[in-house]
Chain A
Amino acid sequence: MAATLFQKVWDLHAVRRLPNGQTQLYVGLHLVHEVTSPQAFDELRERGWRMRAPERTFATIDHIVPTRSQVRPFADGMAETMTSALERNCREHGIRLFDLASGAQGIVHVIGPELGLTQPGLTITCGDSHTSTHGAFDALAFGIGTSQVRDVLASQSLAMSPPKVRRIEVNGRLAPHVYAKDVILTIIGRLGVKAGAGFAYEYAGDTIDRMSMDERMTICNMSIEGGARAGYVNPDETTFAYLRGRRFAPQGDAFDRACDWWRSIASDPDAVWDDVVKLDAAGIAPTVTWGINPGQSVPIDLPLPDPESVPDPDRAGMHEAFEFMGLRPGHLMTGTRIDVAFIGSCTNARLSDLREAARVVSGHRVSPHVRALVVPGSQAVRAAAEREGLDDVFRSAGFDWRDAGCSMCLGMNPDKLEGREVCASSSNRNFKGRQGSPTGRTLLMSPAMVAAAAVAGEVVDVRSWTSPDNG
């Protein structure tokens, strides 16, 4: 019978029906970081449980890790405490930890794919909502809370009910300087931040087919910002080419056998989706958020929306957003002065993102009133960027070139906004207070747009903003 990838992978992992009516879902890969796991390990100890499949769990430090100096012990005592706790827990349970000395440390959603741990057909969980990123590899990947982290540690499985599947088809050629980030911001803007509740998003169409794995990860990463706990793309040659030769991917003959199986789990052409939405890629412009949730965005060349023109339930939220952001309906986002430029996060801190940003800043200087930083997604991304000389491009433009971590995406380490600073950010959330200052303001956009804003000192349209390299 025809089925979606979601149904196939779900069925493959459904161990049994639990007494409470939910499905016991086997977890193929569990990723752990320092912030949402210590309480889970404590409960395991308190209840006298051992891990059943420690070889299916991998850990790294990303959320609290400092990015300016990573010499141990960290100057930040709490970062040291939380890192030590993770190290102790990994030792005790026999979990492989990609620590700072490993050369493979980084944001958990960047290193999973990089190491080839993230593979098609797996169920993947992590105590982090951006676990949806891994769906780019045709995995069923979703974020969980700490109590469910405990469940997975103890039983390598989860109690869950299946969501519905919405297929989002994007077709057409993206215009120059329009990126995956603009596509996903447009999707969320169109459907809203709660439309995905109860759904997994299947991204399809020729625009998605042409995208690199990095771009697909950007798309799937922000599924949760649209309310969908999981998002995925069907497997194809781009997926296989990315995975071939990766450290934890199947090797040799096993890889070819794996490819055959991966092909077989793609959604069937005659599968039935619970909902289908279509989008024209050619009409997408560089997109920026202006408000306090990722659905409040605007194409860079259009004026900000008027709260009086939207249905009543959304109006109060828009007024609140305009007031918090200090912006006005009808105005353009271009020309909005920024204080900080942040290129980083699990959404947009992979090598291709840094290349695009470097192309924009090359030969320019960051505006004198802007504090600008690049935080690579992983040690491997950082090393690869340095081999290409991207660090020099950023440094000579006046950017800080940092070590890998989540950094200013959520401000758990010293990288934070101060006061009412405005930040052009390649991250994923513009919630009030998200970047570490309760009154700080975030404008989400693509890395290229952040780079251009850093140089201009204000929000600009990267299409009309020219540098020596992009003409």
Chain B
Amino acid sequence: MADSSIARIGGTAIVVRGNDIDTDRILPARFLRAVTFEGIERHLFEDERRAMAARGEMHPFDDAARSHARVLIVNANFGCGSSREHAPQAIRRVGIQAVVGESFAEIFFTNSITIGLPCVTAAPADVEQLMAVAEASAGASFTVDLVARRILVDSSPKPEASSLSVEIGLPETARSALISGLWDATGQLLDRYDEVERFAAKLPYLRWGSDPGLTPV
């Protein structure tokens, strides 16, 4: 296994409830006004957090007891909308190492895997159970095990008292990429670039001589 292998993530959890949470809510567009991702995590859910604070409520990401959480638990279609990678970047940079949810929007999912942030699915009833445990106990310990395809939860000081094990889903390509450490694809894509060039030479649209799009500037 390579050093970059991501097989098991352990730690406490944080819960953000709601279906169809889009990337504009995760990371509002005005914070995309930067040429690096540095510090982007400061703006994670910023508008939601301010709105809740104004109502006298506390967003989970403002809860000091959750500040070391490693696992984020969400509902369905998390990360829909804009393709901004700033959203998973902010989630990862705030310390989250795995996201568990009912389902994920496709571009968000791809962006997350590409930066080594596993997004795994679980049945709605199981997600609800995980959320309930995490919300009841900030100290509950979650282990997302990509090898065993399970999440193990230990929510008690006495392990025998309460433990929960839930089956998780992850497309096999993503799972093996994470476990083998091959989730950063660029190296593989460049590995046999001569094949790409030979391949491209056969594409019909690269052979239309009059296409000025083919002329290097």
Contacts and interface: CB of A to CB of B under 8 A. Distances in A.
A261 B204 contact: yes
B217 A55 contact: yes
B214 interface: yes
B47 A15 contact: no
Given A117-B213, A252-B210, A432-B24, A194 B103 contact: yes
Nearest to B112: A145
Nearest to B209: A254
B176 A20 contact: yes
A299 B62 CA distance: 40
B23 to A, nearest CB: 9
Contact of B19 (A49, A127, A258, A317): A317
Interface stretch (B130-138, B141-149, B155-163, B184-192): B184-192
A59 B184 CA distance: 25
A207 B197 CA distance: 40
28 contacts: A12-B203, A18-B188, A19-B182, A20-B173, A20-B183, A20-B188, A21-B173, A28-B205, A39-B85, A52-B196, A55-B216, A94-B216, A145-B85, A150-B186, A151-B186, A155-B190, A156-B200, A197-B77, A197-B104, A224-B107, A248-B212, A251-B211, A258-B204, A317-B20, A412-B30, A431-B22, A431-B25, A433-B24
A95 B217 contact: yes
Contact of A36 (B51, B85, B182, B197): B85
B105 A197 contact: yes
A293 interface: yes
A26 B203 contact: yes
Given A127-B83, A197-B77, 17 more contacts: A21-B172, A21-B177, A22-B173, A52-B193, A55-B217, A94-B216, A121-B204, A129-B81, A154-B189, A159-B188, A159-B189, A160-B110, A161-B171, A251-B211, A252-B210, A316-B19, A412-B29
B180 interface: yes
Contacts of A261: 204-205
B106 A197 contact: yes
Interface in A116-160: 117, 119, 121-122, 127-129, 131, 142-148, 150-151, 154-160
A157 B180 CA distance: 21
A15 B191 CA distance: 12
B35 interface: yes
A78 interface: yes
Contact of A129 (B83, B176, B185, B212): B83
Interface in A234-283: 247-254, 257-258, 261
Contact of B83 (A145, A249, A314): A145
A131 B34 CA distance: 22
A319 to B, nearest CB: 11
Interface of A: 12-13, 15-16, 18-22, 24, 26, 28-29, 35-36, 38-39, 42, 47, 49, 52-56, 63-64, 78-79, 81-82, 85, 94-96, 117, 119, 121-122, 127-129, 131, 142-148, 150-151, 154-161, 163, 193-194, 197-198, 224-225, 227, 229, 247-254, 257-258, 261, 293, 313-314, 316-317, 320, 410-412, 429, 431-434, 436, 438-439
B180 A145 contact: no
A240 B195 CA distance: 32
A455 B174 CA distance: 52
B36 A39 contact: yes
A348 B99 CA distance: 35
Nearest to B109: A197
Contact of A155 (B32, B37, B84, B186): B186
Contact of A293 (B80, B171, B189, B204): B80
Contacts of A121: 204-205
Given A26-B199, A147-B115, A148-B111, A16 B192 contact: yes
Nearest to B204: A261
Contact of B28 (A15, A64, A224, A433): A433
A55 B211 CA distance: 11
Given A55-B217, A313-B124, A320 B18 contact: yes
Contacts of A28: 203, 205-206
Contact of B208 (A49, A54, A254): A254
B82 interface: yes
Most buried by B among A24, A56, A258: A24
A36 B85 CA distance: 8
B214 A55 contact: yes
A268 to B, nearest CB: 18
Contacts of B183: 20
B22 to A, nearest CB: 5
